[in-house]
Amino acid sequence: MKNSFGPDYASLEDADFVAKYQASCFCGVIQYEVSADPVDAKICHCLTCQRLHGAPMQWVAIFHKHHVRFTAGLEHLLLYNSEQNRSERILPCKISCGKCGTPIADEGRRMWLAFPSLFDFGYPAKVPEAFRPTCHLFYGSKVIEIQDDLPKWSGHKNHSELL
Ligand SMILES: [Zn+2]
Ligand SMILES: [Zn+2]
């Protein structure tokens, strides 16, 4: 297999890469790891996330691409740009497993927006502090009310109304 998702990402040849967390899709064909804590974590209630995830909201943890490397399954990744409705790697794009369909991450222009549900936090899960959401995005289109003290933005963080 190719050993990197692209020049912005770490590769299996990076000797100084130390895996901190491991992630895999449901069927296990896609495996990747990260070498750092996420820089932020959020919950998105937008209609696009609801539909693409078949879920009321999306939980995302944001990493620098150079802290991410694939260890298996690169050839099974399915890429989809929802704005242009094209199954191509046009950033930002959605990444999922071509075998089991698990949503893997959103690939942004600069950042890797990982879905923490794929990470191995043990069972019962001990979710590290850095993965805890710091705010809700697009809460204006929420379908489930969330009772917490986190800021709830009607759209994008800092560019919309606080609800
Ligand atoms: Zn899979
Ligand atoms: Zn969203």
23 CA distance to ligand 1 middle (Å): 11
24 CA distance to ligand 1 middle (Å): 8
Q: How many CB atoms are closer than 10 A to CB 96?
A: 21
Q: Give yes or no for a contact between 81 and 88, defined as CB atoms under 8 angstroms apart.
A: yes
CA angle 91, 77, 81 (to 5 degrees): 30
CATH code of residue 59: 2.170.150.70
In a domain, 1, yes or no: no
Whether the bond into 128 is cis, omega within 30 of 0: no
Range of the domain at 53: 21-141
pLDDT tens string 95-125: 999 999 999 999 999 999 999 999 999 999 9
- Give the integer Cα–Cα distance in Å for 95 and 72: 14
In a domain, 159, yes or no: no
pLDDT tens string 70-100: 999 999 999 999 999 999 999 999 999 999 9
Which residues place a Cβ less than 5 A from the ion ligand 2?
44, 46, 49
Q: How many domains does the chain have?
A: 1
95 CA distance to ligand 1 middle (Å): 11
Which residues place a Cβ less than 5 A from the ion ligand 1?
25, 27, 29, 97, 99-100
